[in-house]
Amino acid sequence: MINYQPFLDHLSHTRLNHWVVPLSAQLDDLWANLNDGNLPRFMSIINDLPSLAVTDTEFSDTVSIRGDIQAPETLLTALQQLKPWRKGPFSLFGIDIDSEWRCNLKWDRVAAHLPDLTGQHVLDVGSGNGYYGWRMKAAGAATVAGIDPSWLSVVQHLAVNRYINDASHAVLPLTMESLTPDLNAFDTVFSMGVLYHRRSPLDHLFELRGALRPGGTLVLETIVIDGHEGESLVPIGRYARMNNVWFLPTAKTLAQWLEKMGFENIRIVDESRTTAEEQRGTDWKPGQSLSEYLHPDDPTRTVEGHPAPIRAILLADKPVNQRLKRYRLD
């Protein structure tokens, strides 16, 4: 089990205090019914991390933690045991974790359009190991609640936060579907790289809206296709070798979905083709990556022949006026 008490204590002093009781109960239930063979091994790696004095942290393109001494071999071994590192880059006491994704490139695309995060309570859905959460903290966020069902992501965050020791930034082992519904509390909610994994993307948007306070902002990033309003692709079989991809709308279709689900002030702020500069295999994420997912003769196609990934960023607001239609989706 993971000790989330410092995060719960932090929440109890914020506008999110109504989440403390249901979240504690949900975590208790999770630990009582836990059936994951990897977690004990991961936790013994975390518990054995060497104690090292931190002199300085810097959350810029690389999320860096520095100390007076070079990293001992035990830290390198522990971090290597937590491979693959898909999100980063990080630098811990001189160990450079060159992750598969250079997430600083996406952050640059997103950050230019964000509301001022100073003092904000932020939810990062599908947070991965919390790389973006550290960038949100550096931008002034008071709370970053990451949620991600991947245990490896959760424990990678624990490894980094072992040295940063920030109780206001957690990665919780939860899906969006299992989050306490209608918290109505977060100033900004990020959903980046998650919507295409959801079989019911409109439900996802509905759940995201429920997490936001009235007037709060959703930052939505997902794979899209070129094309017109109303169009979307449901790839049969795999997409870029992923077997859990459901809906790839056009950016304009996505804007329509957001409107349908009760958002306003919807803006498409970026559409960028994913490049091998941003996503590639490294020592910290061995094996296949984007270049193997694209067609060898035509990089505008996936290996399966679908349009290659383009990622769109949309921002949309939850209306301040709560007199909204309650969409019944059941």
Known binding residues for carboxy-S-adenosyl-L-methionine are: 87, 101, 106, 126, 148-150, 176-177, 192, 196, 311
CB of 250 to ligand GEK, least distance (A): 18
User: Which residues contact ligand GEK by CB under 6 A?
Assistant: 87, 101, 103, 125-128, 147-150, 153, 175-177, 192-194, 197
Our CB check for ligand GEK shows the closer of 148 and 270 to be 148
Report the distance separating Cα 161 and Cα 291, nearest Å.
32
Our CB check for ligand GEK shows the closer of 121 and 135 to be 135
CB of 73 to ligand GEK, least distance (A): 29
CB of 86 to ligand GEK, least distance (A): 6
- Give me the helix-helix angle, 151-164 and 131-138, nearest 10°: 40
Task: Count other Cβ atoms within 10 Å, centred on residue 328.
Answer: 5
- Is the CA virtual torsion 241, 242, 247, 251 positive or negative? negative
Q: Which two tokens stand for residue 246?
A: 């459901």
**Residue 86's Cα: distance from chain center in Å?**
12
Report the distance separating Cα 187 and Cα 198, nearest Å.
23
Q: DSSP class of residue 115?
A: P
Our CB check for ligand GEK shows the closer of 4 and 93 to be 4
Residues of each annotated binding site: 87, 101, 106, 126, 148-150, 176-177, 192, 196, 311
The answer to whether 248 touches 196, Cβ cutoff 8 Å, is yes
CB of 303 to ligand GEK, least distance (A): 17
Our CB check for ligand GEK shows the closer of 177 and 229 to be 177
